[in-house]
Structure formats: structure tokens, C-alpha cells
Chains A and B, each alone.
Chain A
Amino acid sequence: MQESKAIRPEIKGLFDTVKQQSKYYIEAFEQLNSFKSEYQQLIGDVNNLAESLALKVNHEIFSLKQKYDSIIKVLTIETNNTLEKYKELSDLSHLQDTYSQALQSINQVNVVVEKNILQLRKDAEEFHRELNYIKVNSDKEIKNLIDANKEYIKKIVSDEKIASDAENIAKFKNLDSRLSKTEQYSQKLSNDINNDIKSIQKELANLKMIVKNISNAEDNAIKAKLNEINANLQKNDLVLSSLNEEVYHLKIKNESIFTSIDKNSPDKAKLNSNQQDNNKLDEISKGSITAIFGKDNIEEYNRINKRLHQNEIDYSELLKKYNSLQIISISAISIAIIGIIIALIV
């Protein structure tokens, strides 16, 4: 390139100097730019490092905060536990004081109890002495009372025995007489019944004859004969009913006699009750009818009982006879009615 002639050489030198300086500046700026880029990269690295450090520090701070919080919690819990322990210790000291006070009161009570025990032992000995004295006296009194009661009961028993013996003997005599009377009466009744049976048999025989000859007989005579037979049969019925009533009354009397005999048993119960009250009365504990009434009376009682039994048997036989008579009479009446009907038909 051609050099300019419009500018003086001094100015051109100035321009060259400036140009040279600009080159230096360019190099310096290039170097500066490279430094700047390195510096920027370094700053970026530093920033990244700072960010990572900040993150790490924040994380560490957070973890430290958590640890701090947990430690604070643990410390709070431990502090509360310690305070509770202190409170328990204070309670224990208070309990110890109350325990010592209670021990003192227990010692005082022990002293009082020992005094009371000594007093009670003295009282017990005195009580035993009094008790032995009372026991001895009461045994004596009881023995005297038992003896007196024994005598009194023996007396009562003997009086009762005498009275009941006399009463029973009178009753037995009365019963014996009444039984003999009823036996005689029943014997008489049985004889009457036998006679009536014989007459009924005769009547039946006559009836048979009448039935045989009924075709030849007249109606009026038959009716009269039948009325007669009927009257006899009614009579027999009345006799039998009166006999039945007598037997029934006799049975009721027998039962009343048995019940009156059984009524004597309260004496025995009374004696047994006395015996229970006084266990030492051995002779009365074997009490029985024999002891009260004696062996003779028992034999009498058995004899009366046998007679009553015999009367009952007689009564049953009479009842059977009565039944057979009733059957015979009913059959005779029915035969007679049949004969009459046949006669009327023929």
C-alpha cells in the first residue's frame, strides 16, 4: 500500500506509535480475555462449589437442627425424668418421715398392747377361776334338779299308770259285755236267717209245684199265692236290712273301741317326751304299752281283738248268705213271672 502524503511524518509516527500500542493492547486484551474466561470458568467452578457447599452446609445445618431438636427432646425428657426423680426423692423423704412417725406410734401402741395383754391375762385367770366356781356350782344345781325331776317324773308316771290301768280295765269290761251281747245277737240273727232260708226253700218248693200245676190252677189262686210269696220275700228283706244295720253299728262300735284304745298312746308320748328331757331315766326309756298297762292287760287286749276279728268274719259270712238269699229270691221271682207269662200265653 502506498504511503499517504497528505499527513506529515510526525503525525504518521504518532499514528504508528498508536498502532503499535494498539497491537500491544490487543495482545493484552486477548490475554485479559483469556484470563477473564479462565476467571469466569473459575468463578463458575467457585459458584458451583459455593452452591454445593451451600447445599451441603444447608443439609448439615438441617441435620444439625434435627440432631439439635432430638437432643433437645432427649434433654427435655431427661430433665422431666430428673425432676420426677427429685419429686419422688422428696416424696420418699416425706414417706420416710411418716414411716418414722408411724414407727413411733406403733411402738407406743405396742407398749399399750403389752399393758393390755398383761391386764387381759390377769382378767383371764380371774375369769377361769370364776368359771370353775360357776361350773362346779352349776353341776351341783343341775344334779339336784335332775334328781328332783326324776322323782317328780316317777311320781307322775306311776299316777298316770294307775289311772290309765283303772280306766282301761273299766273300758275292757264294758267292751267285753258289749261284745258278748253282740255275739248273742248275731247268733240269734244267724239262726233267724237260717230259719228264713229254710222257709224260703220251702216256698221255692211250693213255687215249683205251683209252676208245675199252673196250667190247671186258677188265676186268682196264683195271684194270691204270688202275693203271699212276695210278702214273705219283703219280710225277709226287712229282716236282712235290719241285720245289716245291726252289723254296721257293731262295726262302728268296734272301731270306736279301737280308737279309744289308741287314744291311750298320748300317755306314752308324754312319757317319751319326759324321757327325752331326762336322758338318765333308763327304766322309762324302755317305755311301752307293757310298761304302762302290764302284761295282763295286753293279753286282754289281744283277746278282745281276736273276738272282734271273729265278729268281722261272721259279719262277712252273714253278708254272703244275705247276698245268696237275695239272688235266690230274685231268681224265684223271675221264674214265677216267667211261669205266669207262659200260663197267660198258653
Chain B
Amino acid sequence: MDNLEYKKLKSYLNLRKKIQPKTYLDELAESGWLDIYLSNYSKDKLEYDKEYKEKVYDAMYQYSNLENEDVERYFLEQLIESLSYFNEYIKNARI
């Protein structure tokens, strides 16, 4: 994927985010009830279903009005993972 294709993909994703409707997770995150929902109804699913987990934390990142350490931890972990991959990627290029 070259730079142009990457930019096109990014614009398409932004456009999709703009036009897509709010999910129940988005509504629950915006109203501040998502933590309670997760702890009461989908604690196991959040632990084992990565895709669901990604959707939950995206909804909380976009629509939550309160600071949440789990969200920070999740994205920091994602950042660490990406940086680790990056480090591994540029390992051969290091002097």
C-alpha cells in the first residue's frame, strides 16, 4: 500500500465514521452506563472477544464524558504493542 492508497483509505474510514449511526454501545458510553452494562452483562465476552472489546473501547473513546483508566490502559497497551511491532520492524535497520 502506497501513500496515496493509505490516504484514500483513511478518508473513507473518516467518512464512514461520520455517516454511520450510533450503536447501543455508543449510546451507553455517552450516557455513562457502559461500565455497569459491561460489568453486569458482558464481562466474559469483553475478556475473550477481541472484536467486541475493540468496539466497546472505541465507543468509550469517542462518546464517554468521563475519564476512564481502562480506556487509557487499553490504548496505551495498543500503543505499546504497535511500538513493539515497530521496534521489531526496524530492528534490522538499527545501527
Point out residues on A near B: beta carbons under 8 Å: 1-2, 4-8, 11, 14-15, 18, 25-26, 30, 32
Within 8 A of A (CB), among B47-95: 60-62, 64-68, 71-72, 75-76, 79, 83, 86, 93
CA of A140 to CA of B93 in the docked complex: distance in angstroms? Answer: 147
- Given the interface pairs A15-B75, A15-B79, A30-B3, the reply to whether A7 lies near B67 with Cβ below 8 Å is yes
CA of A5 to CA of B63 in the docked complex: distance in angstroms? Answer: 8
CA of A14 to CA of B79 in the docked complex: distance in angstroms? Answer: 10
List 18 interface pairs A-B (beta carbons < 8 Å), by A numbering. Answer: A5-B64, A5-B65, A5-B67, A6-B66, A6-B67, A6-B68, A6-B71, A6-B72, A7-B61, A7-B67, A7-B72, A7-B75, A11-B72, A11-B75, A15-B75, A18-B79, A30-B3, A32-B93
A4-B62, A5-B67, A11-B76 known; 11 other A-B pairs, CB under 8 Å? A5-B64, A5-B65, A6-B64, A6-B72, A7-B67, A7-B71, A8-B67, A8-B72, A11-B75, A15-B79, A18-B83
CA of A297 to CA of B64 in the docked complex: distance in angstroms? Answer: 205
CA of A2 to CA of B71 in the docked complex: distance in angstroms? Answer: 17
CA of A1 to CA of B11 in the docked complex: distance in angstroms? Answer: 13
CA of A1 to CA of B7 in the docked complex: distance in angstroms? Answer: 17
Residues of B within 8 A of A8 (CB): 67, 72
Residues of B within 8 A of A30 (CB): 3
Residues of B within 8 A of A25 (CB): 86
Give the size category of B's interface with A: 10 to 19
Q: Total A-B pairs in contact (CB under 8 Å)?
A: 38
CA of A15 to CA of B8 in the docked complex: distance in angstroms? Answer: 23
CA of A149 to CA of B78 in the docked complex: distance in angstroms? Answer: 173
Residues of A within 8 A of B79 (CB): 14-15, 18
Chain B residue with the shortest CB-CB distance to A9: B67
Cβ contacts B1-41/A at 8 Å (1 or 0 each): 00100000000001001000000000000000000000000
Identify the interface centre among A1, A7, A18: most chain B CB within 10 Å of its CB: A7
Residues of B within 8 A of A11 (CB): 72, 75-76
Residues of A within 8 A of B93 (CB): 32
Chain B residue with the shortest CB-CB distance to A30: B3
Residues of A within 8 A of B72 (CB): 6-8, 11
Residues of A within 8 A of B67 (CB): 5-8
Q: How near does chain A come to B93, taking the closest CB pair, in angstroms?
A: 8
Identify the interface centre among B65, B72, B79: most chain A CB within 10 Å of its CB: B72
Chain B residue with the shortest CB-CB distance to A29: B90
Q: Which of B3, B64, B86 makes the CB contact (< 8 A) with A4?
A: B64
Q: How near does chain B come to A38, taking the closest CB pair, in angstroms?
A: 16
